[in-house]
Copies of this chain bind each other. A is one copy, B any other.
Amino acid sequence: AESQWGEYDRAYFQSYSHVAIHEEMIKDHVRTDTYRAAIMRHQNFIAGKVVMDVGCGTGILSIFCAQAGARRVYAIEASEIAVQANEVVKENGLSDRVIVLHGRVEDVEIEEKVDVIISEWMGYMLLYESMLGSVIFARDKWLKPGGLILPSHATLYMAPITNTERYQDSIDFWRDVYGINMSALLPLAKQCSFEEPMIETVSGENVLTWPFVIKYVDCYTVTARELESVTARYRFASMMRAPLHGFGFWFDVEFNGPVLYPSNHHSSSLSGTSSSDLYSHGASTQRKRQSRSSDTIVLSTAPEDPPTHWQQTILYFYDPIEVKQDQIIEGSITLSQSKENPRFLNIHLEYSSGGRSFVKESVMR
């Protein structure tokens, strides 16, 4: 299995050796500004301390940490961009404090434990790329007790989506093409457009209900085992009459210290998959969200917030479902690491409404 991971990882890390992906991430100012603000907010904790940056890319977060006064930053990067990260560090006169290590965090050896782990590990639908596993590995092996993890908490949401414009544009389009009835293309259009999860931007107006929390991750306590497969049962009541086109998924992450959120606060109740557990989880997380302190730093990729390069992930149905106000939409969702490639995400979605039930299987590659 290790050697197979190695093979997938070559392709995965290869994709991060191209400069465009780093340009896109850095230019996502919601992302970069929020990370910088979070580092500066925790400056008292970081100053004079040892930091590990898991997957440092071009090294920008490591340098922010150095600017915040870190005594030493281990900037770990498995892709070839580590070469450039090292040069950036040198050119900025930080070689004595920022140590770029070219390798997987699972393989590197350093001579001390760290006070802080920082990482920008979030993929589409939060879990795509499975990079959180490397952060967990780093935490268990290298983080001192009471150390800080940034971000500290992550929440994956889902909500029913209506998007008539999108549907008309790519599906109904074929009903009349220059006056020609091309409806024969409808099945193929639905298959091609909606087989895989779509990464696209929707707005708050496309969302039919309050979102449901699929998974709340406490980075201080989450285990790799817990992430192999995540199942949640959901139940929505549509807030309006509308065609239901699919489900939208997005996440946010919070940057809290270890003191504010004791490490066993949110951990154990989430691994169960019985419906009662998960409903109560949904409710308790709702309370948690409300109790989020107004000065908690949050990086949000929600439709109602400024867009990011993550956009939202949409699972479209082949055919929309007309729902009335208060109509119940319920079912379950399972996200699991693909056995084909652990970086891929298998999505098993069951949904029913108005007496009809459906199952949709998809893979995010």
Task: Name the contact of A88 in the complex, choosing from B18, B184, B189 (C-beta under 8 A).
Answer: B184
Residues of B contacting A170 with CB < 8 Å? 20, 23
Q: Which of A41-49, A173-181, A299-307, A350-358 contacts B (4 or more CB under 8 A)?
A: A173-181
Residue contact B91 to A36, C-beta cutoff 8 Å: no
Number of copies: 2
Residue contact A60 to B178, C-beta cutoff 8 Å: yes
What is the distance, in angstroms, from A59's C-beta to the closest C-beta of chain B? 8
Residue contact B58 to A20, C-beta cutoff 8 Å: no
Residue contact B84 to A177, C-beta cutoff 8 Å: no
Q: Indicate if A108 sits at the interface (CB-CB under 8 A).
A: no
Q: Indicate if A267 sits at the interface (CB-CB under 8 A).
A: no
Q: Indicate if A183 sits at the interface (CB-CB under 8 A).
A: yes
Residues of B contacting A22 with CB < 8 Å? 185
Residue contact A88 to B185, C-beta cutoff 8 Å: yes
Residues of B contacting A81 with CB < 8 Å? 188
Bound Cα distance from A194 to B60, whole angstroms: 24
Q: A170-B23, A173-B23 are in contact. Are A88 and B182 (CB under 8 A)?
A: yes
Q: Indicate if A134 sits at the interface (CB-CB under 8 A).
A: no
Q: Which of A46-88 contact B (CB under 8 A)?
A: 58, 60, 63-64, 81, 84, 87-88
Q: Which residue of B lies closest to A185 (CB)?
A: B84
Task: Name the contact of A192 in the complex, choosing from B20, B184, B188 (C-beta under 8 A).
Answer: B20
Residues of B contacting A191 with CB < 8 Å? 19
Name which of A91, A188, A193 has the most chain B CB atoms within 10 A of its CB.
A188
Residue contact B87 to A184, C-beta cutoff 8 Å: yes
What is the distance, in angstroms, from A120's C-beta to the closest C-beta of chain B? 14
Q: A19-B192, A185-B19 are in contact. Are A177 and B60 (CB under 8 A)?
A: yes
Q: Which of A182-209 contact B (CB under 8 A)?
A: 182-185, 188-189, 191-193
Residues of B contacting A189 with CB < 8 Å? 19, 23
Q: Which residue of B lies closest to A36 (CB)?
A: B178
Residue contact B180 to A20, C-beta cutoff 8 Å: no
Q: A58-B185, A60-B178, A177-B26 are in contact. Are A193 and B88 (CB under 8 A)?
A: no
Bound Cα distance from A58 to B186, whole angstroms: 12
Residue contact B63 to A180, C-beta cutoff 8 Å: yes
Query: What 9 A-B pairs have minimum CB-CB distances, sorted nearest first?
Result: A87-B184, A19-B192, A88-B184, A19-B189, A19-B188, A84-B185, A88-B182, A84-B184, A18-B192
